[in-house]
Amino acid sequence: MAPAYDFPAGDDSSSSGSLSHGDHKSAMVQHSGFNEMADLEETYQKTTYQDIDIQPDEAVDYFAAELDRYTTDLDVAPAEKRAQVLQLVDSYFNYTRNKADRLHDRQARQQSARQGSWQGGMDIDDDEGSVVGLDELRRAEEEAQTWDLLRRILPLRHRDLTSLQLHKNHNDAPAQSRKQWWDEFIISDSTAKERKIVLEWLQSSASYGPPIDELVSELQQNAERGDILAHGWLHTRSKIKLQKSVNGYQGVLDPAIPGLAESHLGSNTLITQLDPDSITRQARRLELQDEFFERAIWLGCFEMLRRGYPMSEIRDWCSARTELWRAAAFAPLPLSNPEDEDQAEFDPASLILWNRVCYKTSRDGGTSDYDKAVYGLLAGDVESVERVSKSWDDFLFAHYNALLRMQFDSFLLKHVGEDVRKVANKFAASNALVKSKNLRSAGKDLVERLEADPRTKDEAARTLKLLQGAIIANELDQHLHHQGLVLSEHANQVQQSKLIPKSRALPSHIDPRKYIDLSDHDSMRILAHVLIIDSTLDRLNGFSTEGSFDSIHREKEHLIAGYISYLRLANLEEMIPLYCSKLHGARVHETLSRNIIHIVNNDARVNQLTIMRKLRIDIAEFAKAQPAIYLGDVNASDAPCEATQNFKILEDGPATLKYGRIVKPDFFGQDGEYVDPEDDLIIRSLEWLMLVPGLLKETCEYVIQAYKYFLKRTHLRAARALSDRVSGREILRSKTTAPIRGSDEDSGPGWFEEFANNFSPDIVEDATIDWDELNLTIKNLWELECLVNALDAIETLSSLAVLTRDETANSREVWAHAGQQIRLAKECMKPVLRNWLLKPYTANPGTEDKDYTALRQAYIPETVMAFVSSLHFIGTSLTRDNLLECMDLAALIAEKGSDVAKEFISCGRMKELLEAFAACSKALAIWTSDKKSSQPGSKKMREMGWSRELWSVKP
């Protein structure tokens, strides 16, 4: 399957100034100034975010492109899908590793430049001017380490169960080489296999530290031997040679020789022999310079073991210093690196006893902390290694090394004879296994211990270290769940969040200081992608999120929802459908809608729908879900009919001779174009629905619901905007093949008649539709739209009435516009005056629609009265034909069974109506100034049988 969209995969050699490289210690602290959550909640109603300065890092583009590349092909087998997800993790690791390496290189070049070591200027990139900070470098390194850990450990925890049989070792021959013993041990113990992976990860992470020669350079300098690495303890050797020469000694100096202590060049503490054990055996020391040299070598040896160097490299390093015996001492250790040298004829007893010798040396031997740490590492001792540990990684390495070595030691003890075990029991060994109460929970216990240890607690509290700890402790799901709960708590701190809803109070055992808030965009990116990968692998392994796990999964998905909202704020709308496709259930459509509802350009909307199709998001379901979401936000179905009390558009007082009852000008509102944000969201959702083919009945039903809500709440501006932006005419033109004229040909309400005259099953795609139901639904929509357009025309006429009181405003254009508006009002009032909303479609035919009943009671009397006043004004100002039409209107209402008359009687306003008609008849009788009147023999007058002379009364 082709990617839904393409993103540049260029290098990210610069850091983003907008990203937070620090770790947020409190998710519950309200930020001063820029309130991230307030913007998330408010800006999804807006079309632009000019006040929000968020510049995304290029990693955002890369991660989205790779996620699209590896996880959108749904037509592959589970095993192949699993391989794709693991490739995605590899891709993220490679990207972040390269980024961290580039930052290391930039920092080194910048440091060299600051020290003035570069000649002839600096040949650096254009962005080299941005100084690489320690926090930025540390953050990049920790992210690369995190993806490295995941790429190593996920294949083990999410194994392809169908292929496990292929990896079983069917070789029944007894193990002989060291590698065979080691492999058999790893296969037999699943915890050992995972510890081996973690140990390899810690070694690999350490390998990206400063070069070993750089680490030992200061000690090497203090050794005062220049560039000489070989020949051991040079200064001590010179002293011994000088002693022999001065005193004429032959052979090896014996410290027990009488007078040697006094004659040894003034020192009674210097060794007299140069073998490796002489320092501990004689309890003497080296020359100060050689002590520095000795510490440098032990530091180098420890770092090589800490970094997982293969024995060949360790041997070469020691050989260059003529200290090959040290490499020989490490040889019995089966390193975690699988590429290490093997030992063909391996005797388990030799390693068992060697471990104990090394343990003894780590505790009682050695001349410095580092040589003890080296032997402690070989023996699986924790205390001696911790003594030189500096970081969270180092302490974790000390414990994992000890656990794995002693597990192997225990495994070997089971395969040796009783004599070997008896001998082994006579020597002390590491008690790392004894201290671990439960081997399977040792990782969790260790991570918790490091979080509380004063030496590591600050580092352990950093966001990515907490994530790494959760992965190691096999509590990733719990960590992501707690993070989701904290985000929800933060999002709902000031106001109820629709983007990240709160399902329950934050449990007391969760410390929000351990988790990020919504402003840490970089961590949101990492955590969201970790969740997507982990959830995908869970589903491939058959783990279901339904049932009791459904609420937990929804709460974890707050991470993805929060990241999606960040993408919106960063104006990266094209990425939003991709991440929404990783959500589940109704949240896919809701999160998608709330984060793209601000898009008002139809071309951009169509582009979004195209992306959704490629991602296999059901655009029909999405389009139907949108209006339901925003109508649900305002509780539209249960909203009371406030218009019964609030819809008053007539001024108090009697009718005037020229204007009749005065209609309030601008009764839609002073700012005629303004629409409340909540109402605008409803209209936008219907505009999206218009772009999806089909769904004619659903579109009409949602538009009707919107009209009902707007009219019940007297939101007339919203109702007018709806009639303009989602008109019934355009609904039928876009979703049927009926020959409906465009608004440029006919702007009135005649579209329904055109539809009714061409109504047939062939005009819509859905052959299962109920035609009677559809016809009634469209008719109801038409009736509601006609009321709104009639009120719009009446409002315009009321404003023109105010305008014409100024003699200078009585232009030809004003009266031409007035004539257009009264014609529109007459056309739109026709359905209102005859059975308006009396034939609704309901789920139970014959039942009453309570909303329609309430709207009739609220709108018919006041609208008819305002219409009469409009006819009165135009009749006295433009042509008396409109006054004659008032008389016809009176006759229509007076007909037997008139539904309009019943509404007037029901609300007790029949007297007002009669007075309005009386005022019209009076104006018709005495008005002599007939402006621009039509000729007495006009066609309309002949058709209607009118005679104005009958009403003409001369004063």
Structure confidence by residue, pLDDT tens digits, 186-245 = 888 888 999 999 999 999 999 998 888 888 888 777 767 767 777 777 777 777 777 777
Q: Tokens at residue 748, please?
A: 């009135």
Distances (CA, A) of 395 to 112, 202, 356, 455, 880: 32, 10, 22, 9, 98
More confident residue, 154 or 548: 154
- For residues 598 and 130, the model is more confident at 598
Q: Exposure string (b/e) for 123-154, b if CB count within 10 Å is 16 or more?
A: eeeeebeeebeeebbbbbbbbbbbbbbbbbbb
Residue in 784, 798, 920 with CA at minimum distance from that of residue 858 = 784
- Exposure on the CB side of residue 917, measured as CA atoms within 13 A: 17
What confidence tier does 939 reach under pLDDT thresholds 50, 70, 90? low
CB 902 within 8 A of CB 853: no
Q: CB–CB of 232/188 below 8 Å?
A: no
What does the pLDDT look like over 722-755, one tens digit per residue?
A: 999 999 999 999 988 888 888 888 878 889 888 8
Per-chain mean pLDDT for the chain: 83
What tokens appear for 336 in the block? 């975690």
> What pLDDT is recorded for position 537?
93
Distance CA 595, CA 577 (A): 9
At 360 the three-state DSSP class reads: helix
Tell me the C-alpha distance between 408 and 378, whole Å.
12
Of the listed ranges 564-578, 705-719, 840-854, the least confidently predicted one is 840-854
Convert the pLDDT of each residue in 621-659 to its tens digit: 999 999 999 999 999 989 999 999 999 999 998 888 888
How many C-beta neighbours within 10 Å does residue 490 have?
Answer: 29
**With 80 as the cut, is the pLDDT of residue 810 above it?**
no
Tell me the Cα Rg of the chain: 43
Q: Identify the three-state secondary structure at position 656.
A: strand
pLDDT per residue over 392-414, tens digit each?
999 999 999 999 999 999 999 99
CA distances from 655 to 350, 659, 811 (A): 116, 7, 26
At 759 the pLDDT is 76
Cβ pair 6, 65 in contact under 8 A: yes
pLDDT-wise least confident of 454-468, 701-715, 886-900? 886-900
Higher per-residue confidence, 111 vs 339: 111
Q: Tell me how far apart the terminal alpha carbons of the chain are, to the nearest angstrom.
A: 87
**Which two tokens mark 1?**
């399957």
3-state secondary structure of 660: strand
- HSE toward the beta carbon, residue 111, CA cutoff 13 A: 9
Backbone phi, psi, residue 341, to 5°: -65, 145
What is the pTM (predicted TM-score) of this model? 0.86
270 beta partners: 285
Q: How far apart are CA 469 and CA 448, in angstroms?
A: 9
Quick one: average pLDDT of 252-273? 63
- Token pair in block for residue 95: 């990207």
Rounded mean pLDDT, 512-537: 93
Distance CA 579, CA 561 (A): 8
- At 32, the pLDDT band (50, 70, 90 cuts) reads very low
Q: What is the pLDDT of residue 247?
A: 67
In one letter, which amino acid is 264? Answer: H
pLDDT (0 to 100) of residue 53:
65
**CA angle at 442 for the pair 439 and 446, rounded to the nearest 5°:** 160
Of 624, 621, 628, nearest to 689 (Cα)?
Answer: 624
Confidence check: pLDDT of 950 > 90: no
Higher pLDDT, 10 or 770: 770
Residue 943 has pLDDT above 80, yes or no: no
* Burial of residue 845, with CB atoms counted within 10 A of its CB: 0-12 exposed, 13-18 middle, 19 or more buried: exposed
- Which two tokens mark 764? 């819509």
> Among 636, 618, 645, 657, which Cα is nearest to 704's?
636
Nearest to 608 by CA among 616, 596, 590: 596
Percent of the chain with pLDDT over 70: 82
Say yes or no to pLDDT of 169 above 50.
no
Percent of the chain with pLDDT over 90: 47
For residue 34, name the pLDDT band (cuts at 50, 70, 90).
very low
CB atoms within 10 A of CB 296: 24
Q: Which two tokens stand for residue 845?
A: 């035919």
Contact 186, 193 (CB under 8 A): yes
Structure confidence at residue 846 (pLDDT)? 60
pLDDT at residue 948, as a whole number = 52
Answer yes or no: is pLDDT of 861 > 90.
Answer: yes
